[in-house]
Amino acid sequence: MAKKLINIIISTAIVLLCACFIASSSSDNFKIVKNLDIFFSVFRELNLLYVDDIDADKIVKSGIDGMLNELDPYTTFLPEEDSEEFDLATTGEYSGIGAIVGIQNSYIQIAETYKDFPADKAGLVSGDLILSIDNISLYEKTTTEASNLLKGEQGTTVNLQIVKLKTSDTVNVKLTREKIHISGIAHAGIMHNNIGYIALSSFTQSCQKDFKNVLRELEATKQMKSLIIDLRGNTGGWLEGAIDIAGMFVKKGTEIVHSRGRIKDFDYSYKTKEEPLELNIPIVVLVNGGSASSSEIVAGALQDLDRAVIVGTRTFGKGLVQTVRPVGYNSRIKLTTAKYYIPSGRCIQAHNFSERNEDGSVATIPDSLKKEFNTVHGRKVYDGGGIMPDIEVKTDEFSDIAISLVLRNLIAEFAIKYFAKHENIAEPENFKITDADYFDFIEFLSDKEYDYQTKVENLAEKLSEEIKNGKYNDNIKSQIDALKNQITHDKIKDLQTYKHEISQLIEEEIAGKYFYQQGRIRKILTDDRQLDAAIDILLNPNKYSEILNKQ
């Protein structure tokens, strides 16, 4: 009976869709109707005759995902069950207890708490284990399942059974859920030499309000003479937030970006609507390969308008605008509807998703096709490759062993053990682990799995496979085997070779346990080559002016 009902619904849908498109009998619409008819017919046959029962939701979503995979990665289907996660990314708000959870020994562990929200106010800390939520055991539950249990309507209560990290006591904790607002401002303050600093981690629907409040607080100190805006690792978000933030530093009515789409309704010029807060203060914007979308709009607009010096490395190169549209049953589709162009007229989109390489990979726009544009002062800038900084400052790549330790969560796990043993630490800027602490870390790793393959080992392995599959004599094979033995990494040696780098990562993680997210960032900034370059430029007015006026 259920299958017959589904088939009736499918048939009705086909008739309605055909009616919608037949009114306009163009060739394109005929192709749409034909292919929809085929799609529905295939699904009907599967539903009617396939040997096993099929999950209609799952198989249709797979079909939708397959269709969208032919386009760009930003066009995605958002089923009803993903709505809360999407809304959190968009608004920066949800209702819950204010904690991030992970997994430890098959139980859910608190990885981090947000300052001054229910979990933090109740004394829960990183490393506390959650045995149950409202009498539901969390043993072998996923982090998603646990997060869903912790979230709920604002004002409702939730009961947790907790094993405390520092005392090993099992306690019951009753929390009242609150509206959790995750500020887009990761850290802000006045640095030495009267330089303001604002790290913006995301463009949510309240980011411009958060940014304006912080900027006014820095202004109120009467100390800020220049400003660093840190957009490194900020993957973007709400377009209007980018317009408003850039508008705080340029004249009212200035165009920040305009969009152009296949449909004229998506052609729009975005201009600043309010009077600026800081029209003349010297500004440096920090960017890297993780700065994308709205971050690139802010950095690119301020560069094109010669309003700020851009420092760091080339940005990601996402010049596409997405629009969210309802598609029924509380589901939505986030689809690319336009490209955006910053004040010089350039689009910084670096990837051409409509033209793929032979292997199916996305083609990048070649230098030969990139066009030259000019800033307000006549400086040359280019399209098709992200935002190229005015001053390029590269950072060191992480070692293979450091990457392995981070990905396997071993540095975070050690930080929790350190946190359990030490009541407090120095301020993040002054905190350092000792040689004895690092020895403890090596001991901690003694029974842990964190193997990795270096780039050289990977190349040698590929060469060995090629020789094994080819017709080479035993002498060549033995030489390759000898080479592999020589370059095989020694984990204990690598722990000493990269001690400084690994120690920094440990210190950053520990600082976050005591001083929340801001503590981690404060520690990171103590050894930051790109930040140092930004400070150097702001302390040298002639150099700053020369960069912005150079043609």
Residues annotated catalytic, as ranges: 293, 304, 318
How open is the CA angle 409-502-397, to the nearest 5 degrees? 95
How open is the CA angle 193-208-219, to the nearest 5 degrees? 30
User: What does the alpha-carbon distance between residue 269 and residue 248 come to, in Å, rounded to a whole number?
Assistant: 18
User: What does the alpha-carbon distance between residue 373 and residue 383 come to, in Å, rounded to a whole number?
Assistant: 8
> Phi/psi at 102 (nearest 5 deg)?
-135, -165
**Angle (deg, nearest 10), helices 239-247 and 294-304:** 30
User: What does the alpha-carbon distance between residue 12 and residue 33 come to, in Å, rounded to a whole number?
Assistant: 14
Left if phi > 0, otherwise alpha if psi is -120 to 50, otherwise beta: which for 159?
Answer: beta
Which tokens sit at 474?
């035993």
The kind and range of the H/E element at 162 are strand 157-163
User: What does the alpha-carbon distance between residue 416 and residue 128 come to, in Å, rounded to a whole number?
Assistant: 9
User: What does the alpha-carbon distance between residue 112 and residue 128 come to, in Å, rounded to a whole number?
Assistant: 10
CB burial string 521-534: b at 16+ within 10 A, e below: bbbbbbebebbebb
Question: Cα dist. 435→227, 406, 448, 507 in Å?
Answer: 37, 20, 20, 13
506-507-511-513 Cα dihedral, nearest 10 degrees: 20
User: What does the alpha-carbon distance between residue 405 and residue 385 come to, in Å, rounded to a whole number?
Assistant: 32
The residue among 205, 274, 225, 221 whose CA lies nearest residue 246 is 274
The residues near 347 (Cβ < 8 Å, ≥ 6 apart) are: 319, 339, 340, 341, 383, 384
- By the 8 A CB rule, do 236 and 217 touch? no
- By the 8 A CB rule, do 252 and 276 touch? yes
Question: Cα dist. 467→58, 387, 453, 486, 488 in Å?
Answer: 44, 43, 20, 18, 19
In the block, which residue shows the tokens 């006026």? Answer: 549
